[in-house]
Structure 1
Amino acid sequence: MNKINVALIFGGKSGEHEVSLSSATSIYKFIDKEKYNVFTIGITKEGNWLYYEGDVENIKNGTWEKTANKNVNINLIPTINKNIGIEFENGKFEKIDVLFPALHGPYGEDGSIQGLFEISNIPYVGCGVLSSSVGMDKLICKKVFEQENLPQVKYTYTTKWDFNKNKDKVLEEIEKEISYPIFIKPANLGSSVGISKAKNREDLINGINEALKYDKRIVLEQGIDAREVEVSVLGNEEVYASVPGEIIPAKEFYDYEAKYLNESSKLLIPAKIDNKIIDEIKNMAVKAFKAIDGSGLSRVDFFIEKNTDNIYINEINTMPGFTNISMYPKLWEATGISYSNLIDKLIQLAIKRYTDKCITHLGSCKIE
C-alpha cells in the first residue's frame, strides 16, 4: 500500500505560536512513519509559510526558521499551471493527501485556515469552517449552548467600543447581572490567554482592559466554587467521549501560566467522580460537539459545583493542545487509545469526512 502524504502545519500568527510548536513536535515523533510520509510546514509569527526539513527538536525550540528552505514552493491554491502540493528546487513534486494543522488560537482554529483548506479541496484533520469559528468564539458558542439547553454559569459581555464610550454604565450593568468573583475572558482566544479573575471593581476594570488587548469583545462569567473537568471527544457522525479528567491548578485558576509554565498544576486522569456524573458529562460533551457541527476532535471543559454537584459546560476547544502529555491525548490514552493510534484515527476521520462530502456533492472522490 502506498504511503499517505501528510502535511503537518505548525506555528501561526496567534499568541499560541509556541504551544503549536510543541504539539507539532509530538505529532511528528509519534505518527506512524510506516503508514505516512510527513512534510513539515511552518508558519512564522509574521504569517510566512516555510517548508522545513530538519531536526524536529528545532521546531519545538523555535529555531526551525533559521534552516527552513525558502526555495520550496508550497502551493495550496488551485491554478491552471500548478498542482496542489510541495514543489522542490530540483523539480520534484509531492502531492499532499491530508493536511494536519497543529495550530491553536486565531488564524489556526477559528475557521480562517480551514477556509483555505476547503478551497484547496484537500482532507484536513479537525473541525470545519463553521464549527471552528463557533468553537473559537466564546460568546457565540455560549449562545449556541443556550439553544441546546446546556447548563452554563451566569454570564454577560461587553465590547471595547461600549466600554470606552460609557465605562461607568457598563460596569454597573455587569455588577447587576453577575456578582463577584467574576472571570473576564477575551471572546476569541485560547490557552487561557488574557483571562483574569476580579474580586472587586478595581480588579474588574483592570481585567477588562487586559482582555481588550486581545479582542474587541469580552465575556464575563460568574465565578463559582467548582472542580474543573475536561472530556475529549472523537468522531464525525459517530462521536465518542473519553473518560473525564480533572485539573488541579497550581494557581487560583487555570490561566496560561498554570497550564504551560507552572509544573505544580496536576491532571487527575481519570477524575474521581461518581459514575452518574461521568455519564452526564460525557453525554453533554457529545451534545455540545454535535451542536457546533464538530468533526474529528474537540476537548470539552466543564465545571462541577462543589457544594451541589451541578454541572456547567464551560467551553469547547476544537484544536486542543496535542503534545503526548496534553489533556486531550492523555484522556484517550486512559480510555484505551494510544497517542500514535489517536493520530492515525484523526487522519482517517479527516479522509472519511472528505470522501463523504465528495460523494454528497461531487458523486465520488478518493485519496490516491
Structure 2
Amino acid sequence: MKVVVISGGASPEHQVSLASGRGIVKAAELSGHSVVPLQLDPRGDWQDGNHEAIGILQDADVVVPALHGEGGEDGVIQGFLEQLKIPYVGSGVAASAVGLDKHLTKAVLTAHGIPVTPGITVRGEDLKDTESVVQRLKAAGIEFPVFVKPGNGGSSFGVARATDLPSLAAALAVAAGLDPQVLVEQEIQGREIDLAVMEFPDGRVDVAPALEIHADPEQPFFNAAAKYDSGATRFVVPAPLSSALAGRLRSTAIEVFAALGCSGLARVDFFVPADGVPLVNEINTFPGFTPASQFPRMWAAAGMSYAEVVDNLLQTAAAR
C-alpha cells in the first residue's frame, strides 16, 4: 500500500511524535509498503506546504496520524482526513476528542460504571482561587497529596504532585499554562499497570499481556523525565498478576475501548490500589509508538514484532 505517516505537530509532544513517526516509517517499509513521511512543524504548519501535503495525502491508501496531544490526538487531524475521504489508522473524531479530554473521558466511563481515579475539574477564575479548590476537594472526599494535570495532553507534561496549599497553587498555574481546563486527582497508592488494546482486520479486538511500570525512584513520580530520560525506570511485561486481576484488567480495557468508541488501537492506563479494584487513570488513543514504547513492548510479549503490529494497524484501517 501507499502509506503516509504524519508526525510532529504543535503540541508539547512534538519530539515524541517525530520519534514515533520514524519508527512507524521504518516498520511499514519492512513490511513492503511504499511510505512517505509528512511532518507538521512546531507551529502546526505542513512542512511541505498546504497544497503539497493535501496532494500527498490524497494519493495514499492509508494514513498514519502518529501525532500525540492537541492537534493530532484530539480529532482535529482525523476530521481533516475524513473530509479528504482517506482511510487512517486509529480512532475517529469523537473517540479521539473524548479520549484526549480527561474530564470527558472520566464522565463517559463513570456513566458506564467503570471506576476511575477520583478527582475534580477546575476552570477559569477558579484556577486562581486555591482555597476554593481545596474546599471542592474536601467536598469530594479528596485529600492531599493530589496530582494536578492539564485536562488535555500527555507524556506527563505539566503534571505535578501537590502536598499543600502553596504547591497546589504552583501546580495549578503550571497546568493552566498548557490548558484552560485542569484536573486535580487523588494520589493513588498502588501498582501502575498499562494495557494495549488493538483491533484486527476481521474486526475483533484483543489485549496484549499487561505491563507494570516501576518508575525511577529518584523521580517524584512517573514524570516526563522518568519516561524519556531515565535508565532507572523499569517496564515489566508480562506484569506479575493473578489470573483474576489479569482477567479483570483485560475485560475493563476492552470495555473502555468500546465505551469511548475507539478504533485501531489504544493504551489504557490503570492504578491498582490495595483493595485490588482497578481504577482507570487515562486512555491514549495514539500512544507513544517507538520500538521501545509501552504499546509495542506489550505486543512483543504476545509474540508480535514491531513491524507486524504496524502492518496490522495498516491492514485494519484499510479493511475498515
TM-score class, shorter: over 0.9
Instruction: Determine if contact 2:198/2:265 at 8 Å carries over to the other structure.
Output: yes
Amino acid of the structure 2 residue aligned with 1:120: L
Aligned to 2:71: 107
Under a length normalisation based on structure 1, what TM-score does the superposition of the two structures give?
0.82
What do the CA deviations read for 1:161-186 (whole angstroms, capped 9, x no partner)?
3233x443233222332111111111
Distance 1:172 1:327, change over 3 A: same
Q: 8 Å contact 2:29–2:35 — kept in the other structure? A: no
Give the letter aligned to residue 269 of structure 1: V
Counterpart for residue 134 of structure 2 = 171
Deviation (angstroms), 1:117: 0.5
CA distance in 2, matches of 1:47, 1:218: 23
Aligned-residue offset at 1:32: 3.8
Gaps of 5+ in 1: 52-69, 77-83, 87-93, 354-368
Q: 2: CA distance between counterparts of 1:85 and 1:262? A: 38
Instruction: Indicate whether 1:208 and 2:176 are aligned.
Output: no
SS at match of 2:184: strand
Structure-1 residue corresponding to 2:298: 331
Task: Name the counterpart of 2:40.
Answer: 43
8 Å CA contact 1:160, 1:212 repeated in 2: no
Distance across 2 between alignment mates of 1:74 and 1:293: 32
Query: What is the aligned partner in structure 2 of residue 134 from structure 1?
Result: 98
> How much has 1:308 moved relative to structure 2?
2.2
Could you report, residue by residue, the CA deviation over 1:248-278 in whole angstroms, capped at 9, with x for unpaired residues? 0112311111111122111001101111100
Match for residue 310 of structure 2?
343
2:88 match: 124
1:239 and 2:205 equivalent? yes
Q: Does 1:302 align with 2:270?
A: yes
- 1:159-213 deviation digits (Å, cap 9, x = unpaired): 133233x443233222332111111111101111111111111111111111111
Q: Secondary structure at the match of 2:288?
A: coil
* C-alpha contact 1:99 1:123 (8 A) present in aligned 2: yes
Instruction: Describe the SS at the equivalent of 1:313.
Output: strand
Structure 1 residue matching 2:148: 3-state secondary structure: strand
Q: Secondary structure at the residue paired with 1:50? A: coil
Answering whether residue 144 of structure 2 is matched by residue 180 of structure 1, we say yes
Q: In structure 2, what is the equivalent of residue 265 of structure 1?
A: 233
Aligned pair count reads 315
Q: Percent identity?
A: 35
Q: For residue 148 of structure 1, what is the aligned residue in structure 2?
A: 112
Paired with 1:85 and 1:45, the residues of 2 have a C-alpha distance of: 20
The structure-2 alpha-carbon separation of the partners of 1:169 and 1:323, relative to structure 1 and needing over 3 Å to count, comes to same
- State the structure with more CA Rg: 1
CA contact (8 A) 1:32 1:344 kept: no
C-alpha distance in structure 2 between counterparts of 1:122 and 1:100, whole Å: 10
Shift of 1:9: 0.7
Asked if the contact 1:110/1:132 (under 8 Å) is kept, the reply is yes
Task: Report the residue type matching 2:194 in the other structure.
Answer: E
Match of 1:285 in 2: 253
Aligned mates of 1:162, 1:203 — CA distance in 2: 16
Which residues of structure 2 form unaligned runs of 5+? Answer: none
Structure 2: how far apart are the matches of 1:95 and 1:311? Answer: 44
**Pairwise CA distance, 1:50:** 2.2
> Does residue 1:321 correspond to 2:261, yes or no?
no
In structure 1, what is the Cα distance between the partners aligned to 2:121 and 2:250?
28
Mapped partners of 1:139, 1:265: distance in 2: 28
Q: What amino acid maps onto 1:74 in structure 2?
A: E
Deviates more, 1:24-33 or 1:150-159: 24-33
Greater RCO (CA < 8 Å, at least 6 residues apart) = 2
If the length of structure 2 is used for normalisation, what is the TM-score?
0.94
Residue 24 (structure 2) aligns with? 27
Query: Is residue 160 from structure 1 mapped to residue 124 from structure 2 by the alignment?
Result: yes
